[in-house]
Amino acid sequence: MPNGSAVDRVDALTAAARPGLVDTHCHIDVSEFAADYGQVLQRARAAGVNRFVVPGVDRGGWPRLLALCRKEAGCHPALGLHPLYLPLHRPAHLEELGKMAARPEVVAIGEVGLDFWDNPEALVRQRQEALFEQQVRIAKGLGLPLLLHARKAHDQVQAIVRRLHFPYGGIVHAFSGSRQQALIWLELGFLIGIGGTITYGRANRVRALAAELPLPGLVLETDAPDIPPAAHRQERNSPEYLPEIVHCLAQLRSDSPDRIAVETTRNAVRLLNRRVPGLAH
Ligand SMILES: [Zn+2]
């Protein structure tokens, strides 16, 4: 379809007429969506979600991720080497990260961090820490924020961010730490990613934090295809369910879904628009 066609203009007008949600963590590039990601994104846009941050997890996946983001409106790539895929990463991938993440469309370094959930042995911890530290240095060199994955490792991730005086902030994705750790993240200039976990009644701590943390410190995410909201448990998670997280967050905070939508979008845009003029308010 040629540029500037009627359909394009209608889409642009519709997007401008409402705030539009940002799914700040959405693995739409993975095999679970290979058959229908175009339709999934279309349904998400129809539901009011029009921007998607797509984080990379290993070098092998970056080209497909970048190609998808070039093709699909509103998809913004982040590149990174995920701690859980440690055996796939090579020193050369860090060098390539520095080069590929310098492209103007890349909005963040991620998904990066530490995962000590399974109590990995000391050598694995050290290798995760070295990998993370090098990626924080790359992000600092490029002036990009970080998309962080931290499980049972918030103190260690915070220590590295502090020691390197990392100034560009980022998003702590699928936050599962303590209140104290959340407050330190906010102090360090990071935002807390709120996703499907808050829709589960038993997730007391995360729900309490989502209710009480200051709204300027929160952004929304689905982590699709993982962590489906309670109404879709056992299903593949999808960015089209993001409005359900807005409604749940509004209920927990006794606030209006509209205000939650506008403010969290503003927070995400403020963080990510340093490198993407198209993301300006
Ligand atoms: Zn992820």
Q: pLDDT (tens digit, 9 = 90+) per residue, 180-226?
A: 999 999 999 999 999 999 999 999 999 999 999 999 999 999 999 99
**Does the residue 208 lie in any domain?**
yes
55 Cα to the center of ligand 1, angstroms: 7
Banded model confidence at residue 120, pLDDT cuts 50, 70, 90: very high
**Do residues 246 and 21 make contact, with C-beta atoms less than 8 angstroms apart?**
yes
Kindly tell me the burial class for residue 268, based on how many C-beta atoms sit within 10 Å of its own C-beta (0-12, 13-18, 19 or more): buried
**Do residues 230 and 202 make contact, with C-beta atoms less than 8 angstroms apart?**
no
Q: Residue 274's pLDDT is what?
A: 62
**Does the residue 12 lie in any domain?**
no
Q: What is the mean pLDDT of residues 224-229?
A: 96
The number of folded domains in the chain is 1
| pLDDT, mean over the chain | 92
27 Cα to the center of ligand 1, angstroms: 6
- Rounded-to-integer distance, Cα 39 and Cα 86, Å: 32
Type of residue found at 6: A
**Does the residue 7 lie in any domain?**
no
List the CATH number of the domain containing 98. Answer: 3.20.20.140
- Rounded-to-integer distance, Cα 176 and Cα 194, Å: 10
Q: What is the mean pLDDT of residues 110-139?
A: 97
**Does the residue 46 lie in any domain?**
yes
**Do residues 112 and 82 make contact, with C-beta atoms less than 8 angstroms apart?**
yes
Could you tell me what percent of the chain has a pLDDT over 70?
90
57 Cα to the center of ligand 1, angstroms: 8
pLDDT beyond 90 at 16: no
pLDDT beyond 80 at 140: yes
Q: Which two tokens stand for residue 207?
A: 């729900």
Q: What is the mean pLDDT of residues 260-281?
A: 77
Q: What is the mean pLDDT of residues 234-261?
A: 97
pLDDT beyond 50 at 9: no
Q: What is the mean pLDDT of residues 126-146?
A: 97
Q: Which residue has the higher pLDDT, 6 or 26?
A: 26
**Domain limits at 212?**
20-279
Digit-coded pLDDT (tens) for 79-106:
999 999 999 999 999 999 999 999 999 9
pLDDT beyond 80 at 231: yes
pLDDT beyond 80 at 18: no
pLDDT beyond 50 at 8: no
Q: What is the mean pLDDT of residues 266-271?
A: 95
**Does the residue 199 lie in any domain?**
yes
**Does the residue 3 lie in any domain?**
no
- Rounded-to-integer distance, Cα 114 and Cα 125, Å: 8
Half-sphere exposure of residue 91, counting CA atoms within 13 Å on the CB side?
Answer: 0
DSSP helix/strand/coil, 151? strand
162 Cα to the center of ligand 1, angstroms: 23
Q: Which two tokens stand for residue 54?
A: 């797509």
Q: Which two tokens stand for residue 38?
A: 């175009």
Q: Which residue has the higher pLDDT, 41 or 17?
A: 41
Residues with Cβ within 8 Å of 62's Cβ and at least 6 positions away in sequence, in order, are 56, 79, 100
DSSP helix/strand/coil, 236? coil
12 Cα to the center of ligand 1, angstroms: 29
Within a 10 A sphere around the Cβ of 49, how many other Cβ atoms?
27
**Does the residue 6 lie in any domain?**
no
Write phi, then psi, for 177 (nearest 5 degrees).
-90, -165
Closest residue by Cα to residue 230 from 271, 205, 199, 209: 199
**Does the residue 1 lie in any domain?**
no
| Of 12-26, 116-130, 238-252, minimum mean pLDDT range | 12-26
Q: Residue 273's pLDDT is what?
A: 81
223 Cα to the center of ligand 1, angstroms: 5
Q: Which two tokens stand for residue 143?
A: 């002036």
1 Cα to the center of ligand 1, angstroms: 33
